Every structure is written in C-alpha cells, then in structure tokens.
Amino acid sequence: MKILNKKNLWISFLVLLICGCASTKAIPDRNLIEDPEFTNWFNIRGLGGDIDDGKEQAVFPSSEQLGNPSWSIAQWGSRYNFADPKITEKKQISKNIFQLNNKSKSFTVNSKTGEVEMELFASTCYEKPRIKGEPWPHLLISTQFTDVRAAAGFCKVQNIKNLKLNINSQLLSFKDNHPNPDPDLHAAQFLMHIIVQNLTRDDDGYGDMLWFGIPIFDNRHEIIMETFSKDSGKPDASGKFIFNLGHEALRPTDDTFFKNGKIISGENTEVIPTQVDVIPWIHYAFQLARKNGFMQTTSFRDLYVSGMNIGWEMPGTYDATMRISNLSLIAEY
C-alpha cells in the first residue's frame, strides 16, 4: 500500500478541488438566441388589431415549412400584409439573401452573415398624423428562448451569473414626414425587449412579466435616458411594466446616430455597437416594478428570461431602415 506524504496529500487535494470546481458548473455558457444567423426561417404574423388575430399566417423565405421556424416577423398596424402574395413580393437575391417587399415595409435577411435589414414606411400607414390613443405600425422580429419549462436552468435568472447582450446597428435611411411633430405622440424607435417572466407553475404570479427594454435608436433623443412606465398608449397594450435602459449603460463607445444634433443615415455611416450585461439591470428593473405596484405576487426566484423581440415601432409618420448584425445574448453560469 502506497503511503501518501503531506506533499502528495496536498497535490491530491488540489487535483480534487480543481476537478470538483470544473464539474460543479452543470450548465455550460450558451447563446440563448438559438438561431442568431436566421437559418431556420420566420413565421409571418398578421397585422393584428381590428384586421386579424395577429397569429402566424405564412412562412418566410420558403412556402414549404420543414420544421418549426425559430423566429417570427411581427407587422402590427402596418397596413399592408407580408403574408398576402397579391401585394407582397418575395424574392431570393442570392443563395443566402431573401427579401420581402410591399408598400409599407421591406425585410431582408442574410442567413450566412446573420444580418437583417428592416425598413418601415410609416408614411404609407397613416392617412393623417397620429393622435393620442391610436395604434401605430411595427416591424419586429421575435424569438422564444430554450423552453424554460423543459430546461429551466438555462433561462432562470437566479442561475445566470452574467447575461451579455451584443448587437451592431446601422441606420441606412431616415426620413421625417412630419410638418410639426409632437414628441409626446410621434416617434421612430428601434428597440429590443427581453421578456422577464414568472414561469413558476402553480405560483400565484405565474405568467406575469415585465418588458426589459434596450433602446437602440430614438429620433427624438441623441442620448436616450433611463425610463420606466406602464405599457399603454394603444388599445392592445399589455398593461405590464416597461423598463428601458439608458444610453450610458448600453454604449461601449461615444458613437450615436447623430452628428451636430442631426440624424445621419446611409451605407457609409458608423455601425453602432450595443453591449451590456443585463443581469444586474434585471435585478434593478424587478425591484423598480415591485416598488411601482407591478409583479406583487412574484419573487425574484420565479423569474425567467423567456424571449425577446427587436425592431421598429413608429407612432409617427417616418420612413426608416435599420441593419442589425452580430446578435447574441450569452448566458454565463
């Protein structure tokens, strides 16, 4: 029998400690966005509101669905339906680039580079400037994360040490068609929202949620300030708490979509990076929601990040195009 001296015991202890530390990390780091290159197609949802139920009506780019698309295109209130082949042109530009076009919007995806261009012509959606309480056009893409009920550890907030968002954005075009815009009513906003939700079954707060906002562009503000509010302003608003991060938390550089106080756009404009670890801000947003009367029957341990959307909301008569790329949401455990 081999006798271990103190030195050998110490070495053995270190080996066990290192191996034990390595093995305790049961969940590997992962991109919660399972299809960041958009290779698994899109469901096209309806216009919503009084027109239809806003549910899936078609698949893009192919008409033959070979599985369940990872992404959806939402086009609420945008007047001309992408799912209607009579008014929408669907074309393949190259092997990996596909496009939808109609009078109110254009959507282009490159499934090799993971680039998406979203162009919304809100000027075709309004017959007169929007007034208080009226809906507005959207052009968004959305995805659900790993099924949080079947694989709870991936998306449960208290299990995630860091949740690092990265996205690059380039404003390719922008046109203001308002003679006298009211900043309380009229805007062109390009936003990302992460859904933070109580998904603890049998809990009193099951299903309750907050919108965690990452504002990328707002034509009214070069420097976007932190805000929070109740989701309202249109008939189908969720009524849930919305928290929006401020500019300083989101930009690793001083670059903005403005120059000398004016919006700049075009193929030669700067690509603006957005980078942030959202976990400490989710803690903050949840406490803020509770303080303001929301999510009263939900505890922090009940929270999951269950999905996201990103794109245009235009409660104003604007026409604009944004290109996004390098999208990731890396969870570190």
pLDDT higher than threshold 50 for residue 11 = no
DSSP string, 62-87: -SS--S--SEEEE-TT-SS-TT-TTT
pLDDT higher than threshold 70 for residue 21 = no
State the pLDDT at residue 152: 56
| Average pLDDT rounded to a whole number, residues 12-21 | 39
3-state DSSP assignment of residue 7: helix
State the pLDDT at residue 148: 53
pLDDT higher than threshold 70 for residue 66 = no
Domains defined along the chain, listed by start: 27-332 (2.60.120)
Per residue in 152-198, pLDDT (tens digit) is 578 999 999 999 999 999 999 999 998 889 999 999 999 999 999 99
Q: Could you tell me which of 78, 85, 83 has the C-alpha nearest to residue 44? A: 83
3-state percent breakdown (helix, strand, coil) of the chain, nearest 5? 15, 35, 50
State the pLDDT at residue 292: 96
Query: What is the CB neighbour count within 10 angstroms for residue 244?
Result: 20
| Average pLDDT rounded to a whole number, residues 274-280 | 96
The mean pLDDT value of the chain amounts to 88
What is the pTM for the complete model shown? 0.88
State the pLDDT at residue 65: 55
